[in-house]
Structure 1
Amino acid sequence: MNKNKQIIKKVGLPPGTLLHIGSARSEQIKIKMLCYNCNDWSEMEIDSIDDIIKDQDTENICWIHSSGVHIVKIIEKIGTIFKIHPLVLEDIVNTNQHPKLEENEDYVYVILKMIHCDENKKIEFEQVSIIVGKNYILSFQENDNDIFKQIRDRIKSTPGKIRAKGADYLAYALLDCIVDYYYVALEYLGERIEVLEDQVMLDPKPEVLKEIHGLKNEMLFVRKAVWPLREIINALARGDSTLFQKDTLIYLRDIYDHMIQVIDSIEMYRDMVTGMLDIYISSISYRTNEVMKVLTIIATIFIPLTFIVGLYGMNFKYMPELEWEWGYPAILCIMALISLGMIHYFRKKKWL
């Protein structure tokens, strides 16, 4: 279903009404629960929401990840177990949300956009929602591609820093993973810009203009998805929330520095794309001017020749040159000399 039609269906509904807005999907939502501490870990796939156990007194950190948000009943049950506000759940199932941060007494809620390249080297955007509690993390992603696999592998492999710290450090790891994907997407965009630059300079075809406009629109969506995250990370790094320990704030500040670099790269690429559009227009104008110059030179060379032909094409009886034996070859030689002289003059002036 079209997103605009889905939004229209939401008009007039009470606040907190869960209505999925996004790409239609028919498969079942996949939910994984990974619990860990310094010494051990356990992972299970949730077949029934009743299998989720919320125990605030346990020393384990529980990370519950949902691949898909299109079945609102499941999202609503998870929210009931963890006492998540209905307005937050409403934002989770609405994949058309802008990145934002909401701080609650018991949890912190973050919406951000995941950017990655698909198999066809096309930029795709995916909404990711993260809820950070005292000893739990709830993460919801729009699709079922496993974007946090590396973090799960780190938790399972060795009892490192991520298992020694709390849920706030796991939240940092998730945010850092998403920002790392930004670098991958920007590298791909940079390669496309380099290829387009060469095409604009060497062979500015109409197809190149279409690619430039497509890339410009992609850069606009990337900026729209990434720019708000800078303020979100900055707000978390200030340490206003009691759920984030002081020793985690330095890691959040590191993400903030990365976000500044990402945003600077996005602005630079946008300027480069805009510059390519100007170069394309200039190249087309230059080529047009070159063609017009050649045509003008050809027309200029033939102007005196046309005059001579027109002069001797007049029907006068008494034209002495008409009776000359060598009149015809002489006129041809004069016309040739005029043409060669004009060509020499144009080259001397560097018009040719």
Structure 2
Amino acid sequence: MDTQQNTALTRALAEVPGPLPTSGVIHITLPHTDRFTVVGNHLAQHPDLSCTAVGIAVRIQSLPQGTEVSIKALTARCKEGEKRIAAALRELEAHGYLQRFRHRLPGKKVITRTVFCNQPAALVHPRRPAAEVRPRPAAPAPVRVPAAIPVQAPVSEALVPGAPVAPPVLLPPPAPSAPLFVPRVPPPTAPKASRRPLPQPSELTPELGRAATALLGDLHRHAPQFALSEADVHRLVPGVAAWLERAARPDTIRRALTDDPPHPFRHPAKLLAHRLTELLPPAPPGVDDLAALARPRVTVTPFQTCDDCDRAFRSPTPGHCRDCREDRADCAHRTEYAQAAA
């Protein structure tokens, strides 16, 4: 039996403007008149969001204000389980489409509020308000202020024949509210923090300079990818001299600079400058610091074992515990008393 042809689909294909593509999807676009939601391609074609996250975002965006969008509520509306929906919400939260925060009610009850933004990039890079757009001087039309809201006169007054029509009253534009989303990652156009300068020794003596030059020029023998030019060696000598001044051994410096290089590795001089700056060891302790370490500590009295009862007690010298000393003193007192009475 032949496949039944869909005449409506055939007519719709015939009305598609232009030639049909030889491969791939064919779009039949019919205008919506009701019950539709506008979804941006930044969400529908997001390269880092899963299809589940995109579908959950479209579902949330299509719901009216005040609809519950918790994990359990979305599980009741969708076929996906709680784990997949929770993972999708975390994806949307990481990319700025969703934000969840705690809100304390007047009765000290804490609830979770959910905010969904259909275009988070517009919060990071807001457009200029319409009031700031200057009209073109060559345009003969009157200047319009889109940011202001005109309030017309009452209908009863406007319809009276011969009555003067009051000009529209312009209300000031609403004050801009604080953004609901705070970008976690700065935009690419944000100014970058200045790099820390290369460490410098207190005095670049000839001995330090020769030792640093020899260490840098010898790096390629231990790690062939660290072959430096003469200009790079001359620029990095103060950083190595600062390490040597802080009593760092040459093998320690060589290991800290060349171990575990990144892949791919293209700029050895930049990596060495970064590691010389960020991994700089602390300065060795001074004489005053060593003197503080050499101060006498609190003496702890050791334990001793009593010679009579084998009980442990604290004493700087061996002997008898307190009870045994008291017994010996009583015994000696009674002996003296008996001798005196005799």
TM-score band (shorter)? under 0.3
* TM-score, structure 2 normalization: 0.20
Q: If each structure's strand is expressed as a fraction of its own residues, which one has the higher value?
A: 1
TM (norm. structure 1) is: 0.20
- The higher radius of gyration belongs to 2
- Greater percentage in helix: 1
